[in-house]
Amino acid sequence: MAKRVAVIGAGASGLVSIKCCLDEGLEPTCFERTDDIGGLWKFKEVPEDGRASIYRSVIINTSKEMMCYSDFPIPDDYPNYMHNSKILDYFRIYAKHFNLLKYIRFKTLVHSIRKRPDFSLTGQWDVITETDGKQESAIFDAILVCTGHHTDAYLPLASFPGIETFKGQYFHSRDYKDPEEFRGKRIIVIGIGNSGGDISVELSRTAQQVFLSTRRGSWILNRVSDYGYPIDMMGSTRFLNVMKYTLPSSLVNWLAELKLNRRFDHANYGLKPQHRVFSQHPMVNDDLPNRILSGTVLVKPNVKKFTETAAIFEDGTVEENIDVVVFATGYSFAFPFLEESTVKVHNNHVSLYKYIFPPDLEKSTVAIIGLIQPLGAIMPISELQARWATRIFKGVTKLPTASNMKYDIAQKKEAMNKQYVTSNRHTLQVDYINYTDELAMQLGVKPNIWSLFLTDPKLAREVFFGPCTPYQFRLTGPGKWSGARQAILTQWNRTVKPTRTRDIANYLNRSSVPVWLKLFGLIVLFAAWYFFSF
């Protein structure tokens, strides 16, 4: 009989987890507390309890070729950086294509998940759910927790003395939806993550003045990279990854910072941090420098304290008549339905093998999917995690011993602490290529570049020098997809399709330089070469 798996949540991680269960012959039941799929990517005017909430304008900062599921490319006419509504569309066509909806029980909250008395023998769980106020209990052989980590607002009010007497409005970025109601106001946005960046840029178009307050500054990346290609497609290549980890890190940081400073000098814009560019989660914002250049956003240091109407900053400057404060201070996460003995979270720190498996369980029948903060997209990583977890549930792959897992966890923590500045938001950082390769190795789906160079050099070139797109993990091994090679070889076509919306072939064919002038130019060049070489 097929093993029964409870999937908690029907967002980006939950949907792909259902599919992975089906691929491995397991029987999934997905519980989703709201009435729809998409999780964070389903925009609603009013934030819902227990589900992530986004602003109306959110455009993703990972490009479509890098964020898609590995056996289902995003349609070629979809933009590279999609609006949230388009992302939800993609999830809908994915769910429809693989017939996933019938496995989801909507409006069903998972209340508690407890080990059964015979857990050490069976690895089974009692799952209590609630639908329309009615509780139900069911037994499952395994659990995939896909509840996300951008739901619980982190609002550090205690760090901001005087906020309790502040007479204006203040709220967390989770509650921000639209700029219109803030027209003409003086606003402080606290925090320079991607939320702080997006929200200050958007507000600056209608507000009287926006102040962006940051305690340590930030490097700012652009979605649009060289020649107009998406930055993650240009930067996430196996070739560059080898360079990154071969060359001294100070040189790699210096080169990247040089490039960023050539776009705009981070010191002149008040943004230059003390830390190096690869020591923080990337902040991607194409418009922020423009808004600073036009004076509609002013970068300020941390707020020391608030008065009833003003903010006093750590450099002693004061901004009077503040109407609104937006705390774009990030998120914390928890698993209230699990016992601490299963997964313990303390200040955003959690001890999971490869960020997925609790190392101390007698049976490996629970996996946390999507609990990572990648330098890249979450979706394909959740997919690899779920592919691996479902094979472990099925019993065809095994985890190492608890002590080996703990050793790996400790090493990862040490490496993270070394690379990243200490912050609540740097507890789940993974490097896209290194981490996906690590998972792929466990699964047996990592492409062998060297043998590929011998057998299929055209493909090997694209796999090594081109973007490390998720299709690479469908070329070989369990879950191999026959369309993977073609998807890789056509990825640049899908990238340029949505921007080449005006046919310029006719113009390109018609040269503006007459033939006689070209010939004349050639003769001049040849004569110059002849003259100067003697």
Q: Is 266 a residue that touches ligand NAP (CB under 6 A)?
A: no
Q: Is 332 a residue that touches ligand NAP (CB under 6 A)?
A: no
- From the list ligand FAD, ligand NAP, none, partner contacted by residue 216 (C-beta under 5 to 8 A by kind): ligand NAP
Smallest gap from Cβ 310 to ligand FAD, in A, equals: 29
Q: Is 11 a residue that touches ligand FAD (CB under 6 A)?
A: yes
Task: Choose one: 141-149, 296-304, 490-498, 499-507; the region binding ligand FAD (CB under 6 A).
Answer: 141-149
- Span 390-429, contacts to ligand NAP by CB under 6 A: 423-425
Q: Is 302 a residue that touches ligand NAP (CB under 6 A)?
A: yes
Token pair 């981070």: residue: 266
Smallest gap from Cβ 448 to ligand NAP, in A, equals: 32
Task: Choose one: 7-15, 190-198, 314-322, 395-403; the region binding ligand NAP (CB under 6 A).
Answer: 190-198
Task: By CB under 6 A, name the one of 57, 131, 373, 419 that touches ligand NAP.
Answer: 373
CB within 8 A of 220, min separation 6: which ones?
197, 260, 264, 266, 271, 283, 284, 285, 288, 289
Task: Choose one: 71-79, 194-202, 204-212, 339-347; the region binding ligand NAP (CB under 6 A).
Answer: 194-202
Phi, psi of 181 (to 5 degrees): -70, -5
**DSSP 3-state of 152:** strand
Q: d(Cα 394, Cα 365) in Å, to the nearest integer? A: 10
Site string for ligand FAD, 330-349 (x = CB under 6 A): -------x------------
By Cβ distance, which residue is nearest to ligand NAP?
A: 193
Task: Choose one: 57-65, 236-244, 442-450, 463-471; the region binding ligand NAP (CB under 6 A).
Answer: 57-65
Task: Judge residue 511's burial from the number of C-beta atoms within 10 Å of its C-beta, 0-12 exposed, 13-18 middle, 19 or more buried.
Answer: exposed
Q: Is 60 a residue that touches ligand FAD (CB under 6 A)?
A: yes
Quickly list DSSP for 136-151: EEEEESEEEE---SS-
Q: Which of 123, 126, 140 is nearest to 358 (CA)?
A: 123
DSSP state of 74: P
Cβ proximity to ligand NAP: between 140 and 229 the closer is 229
Smallest gap from Cβ 2 to ligand FAD, in A, equals: 22
Q: d(Cα 80, Cα 499) in Å, to the nearest integer? A: 9
- From the list ligand NAP, ligand FAD, none, partner contacted by residue 190 (C-beta under 5 to 8 A by kind): ligand NAP
- Span 422-461, contacts to ligand NAP by CB under 6 A: 423-425
Task: By CB under 6 A, name the one of 3, 4, 19, 51 that touches ligand FAD.
Answer: 51
- From the list ligand FAD, ligand NAP, none, partner contacted by residue 489 (C-beta under 5 to 8 A by kind): none
Q: Please, what's the largest Cα pairwise distance for the chain?
A: 95
Q: Is 13 a residue that touches ligand FAD (CB under 6 A)?
A: yes
Smallest gap from Cβ 334 to ligand FAD, in A, equals: 10
Bridge partners for 140 per DSSP: 125
Token pair 């097929």: residue: 2
Q: What is the side-by-side strand order in the sheet with 4-8?
A: 104-105, 27-31, 4-8, 142-145, 366-368
Task: By CB under 6 A, name the one of 115, 150, 238, 391 that touches ligand NAP.
Answer: 150
Cβ proximity to ligand NAP: between 330 and 447 the closer is 330
Cβ proximity to ligand FAD: between 100 and 452 the closer is 100
Over the range 76-113, which residues count as b (16 or more CB within 10 Å of their CB) and which as e? eebebbbbbebbbbbbeebbeebebeebbeeebbbebb
Q: Is 359 a residue that touches ligand FAD (CB under 6 A)?
A: no
Task: By CB under 6 A, name the one of 8, 74, 192, 324 that touches ligand NAP.
Answer: 192
Work out the angle at residue 479's Cα, subtended by the Cα atoms of residues 476 and 481, and round it to the nearest 5 degrees: 65
Is the distance from CB of 215 to CB of 240 less than 8 angstroms? no
Q: d(Cα 189, Cα 199) in Å, to the nearest integer? A: 8
Quickly list DSSP for 205-243: TTSSEEEEE-SS---EE-SB-GGG-BHHHHH-BHHHHHH
- From the list ligand FAD, ligand NAP, none, partner contacted by residue 281 (C-beta under 5 to 8 A by kind): ligand NAP
DSSP state of 7: E
- From the list ligand FAD, ligand NAP, none, partner contacted by residue 123 (C-beta under 5 to 8 A by kind): none
Which residues lie near ligand NAP (CB under 6 A)?
58-61, 150, 156, 159, 173, 190-196, 198, 215-216, 281, 302, 328-331, 373, 423-425
